[in-house]
Amino acid sequence: MTDSLATLEAKIQSAVRVFLFLDYDGTLAEFAPTPDDIFPDPEIIRLLEDLTAIPRIEPAIISGRKLPYLQRLLPVKGLLLAGTYGIEIQTRDGEILHRADSALIQPPLQNLKSRWQQLIQQTNGIYLEDKGWSLALHAKDAEAAEAERILLMAESMAQKLDSALFRILGGHRFLEIAPQAANKGFTIQALLAETLDQADTAVYLGDDDKDEEAFAVLQELGGYAVKVAPPNTPTRAQFRLDSPAAARAWLHKVVVCCSTAEY
Ligand SMILES: [Mg+2]
């Protein structure tokens, strides 16, 4: 059972600084048909410009998408972008940070890529995405039994990689292999742990299991999680919004509240 958002709005209004972490797909935007669809949404860009313009709000996008796609989706000056779950970060000043070692990650990943390409070449509806820092298989357009068979084989190939370096991420007809640091929880820890003060508030809006990892870390640091999902969806978040449209409407409200509050 989640709480009324009015409680969270009051905390945001009284905070000196508000760290606002936002997932993109399924949270701010409705899902794109494929991960390579990059349709910048003027309404979302405007919303993030408005949030970024409020001095005491520090918005950040924490997404599974690769950073170059986020840069094209959200050309907003002063907005922090964390791509591939936080492996690649564009800071508020525009500096680019990498939280994994390319020399260690690339050789095994490229080796696995050619094995996965061979595995899927006879199958329709499975898409291999090379994100640079990770590899993902998207199988939602494949026939169900075939998708399951291929993803299981792909997973057993991925399990042969060094688990000290890599982690396997799942999802609905989805499999991804990424560096261990590709974890939204670690990313929140890295971005927040040393800067969060008692007078500050941290809020995270997200829709899936990768966001739940961030919710846990954020809650441990005293922050608040908002699940973007229909009622009765299991979550550890304290608050909930029904859909990306509801999330955008609520953030518009935050803009109005914080723009008029006396700070
Ligand atoms: Mg999402």
What is the secondary structure of 29-51 as a DSSP string?
A: BPPPSSTT-----HHHHHHHHHH
Compute the average pLDDT of residues 122-144.
Answer: 94
Q: Which helix (H) or strand (E) holds 171?
A: strand 166-171
Distance 138 CA to ligand 1 centre (A): 15
Domain range list for the chain: 5-99+182-260, 102-179
Q: Is the pLDDT of residue 250 over 90?
A: yes
Distance 207 CA to ligand 1 centre (A): 5
| Residues 20 and 58 sit within 8 Å (Cβ to Cβ) | yes
pLDDT at 192: 92
Beta bridge partners of 130: 135
Average pLDDT of the residues of the chain: 94
Q: Is the pLDDT of residue 2 over 80?
A: no
In angstroms, the Cα distances linking 4 to 47, 57, 212, 238 are: 23, 21, 19, 9
Q: Is the pLDDT of residue 243 over 60?
A: yes
Share of the chain above pLDDT 70, in %: 98
Distance 26 CA to ligand 1 centre (A): 4
At the fourth CATH level, the homologous superfamily of domain 102-179 is Trehalose-6-phosphate phosphatase related protein; domain 2 (3.30.70.1020)
Q: How far apart, in whole angstroms, are the C-alpha atoms of residue 21 and residue 1?
A: 22
Distance 68 CA to ligand 1 centre (A): 17
Compute the average pLDDT of residues 205-219.
Answer: 96
Q: pTM to 2 decimals?
A: 0.93
Q: How far apart, in whole angstroms, are the C-alpha atoms of residue 212 and residue 234?
A: 10
pLDDT band at 12 (very low <50, low <70, confident <90, very high): very high
Distance 159 CA to ligand 1 centre (A): 25
pLDDT band at 36 (very low <50, low <70, confident <90, very high): confident
Distance 148 CA to ligand 1 centre (A): 22
Distance 63 CA to ligand 1 centre (A): 7
pLDDT in tens, 58-98: 999 999 999 999 999 999 999 999 999 999 999 999 999 99
* Six token digits for residue 213: 């990892």
Distance 103 CA to ligand 1 centre (A): 29
Distance 263 CA to ligand 1 centre (A): 32
pLDDT band at 103 (very low <50, low <70, confident <90, very high): very high
Distance 236 CA to ligand 1 centre (A): 16
pLDDT band at 261 (very low <50, low <70, confident <90, very high): low
Q: Is the pLDDT of residue 260 over 90?
A: no
Distance 210 CA to ligand 1 centre (A): 8
Per CATH, the architecture of 5-99+182-260 is what? 3-Layer(aba) Sandwich (3.40)
In angstroms, the Cα distances linking 60 to 4, 46, 51, 203 are: 24, 15, 10, 10
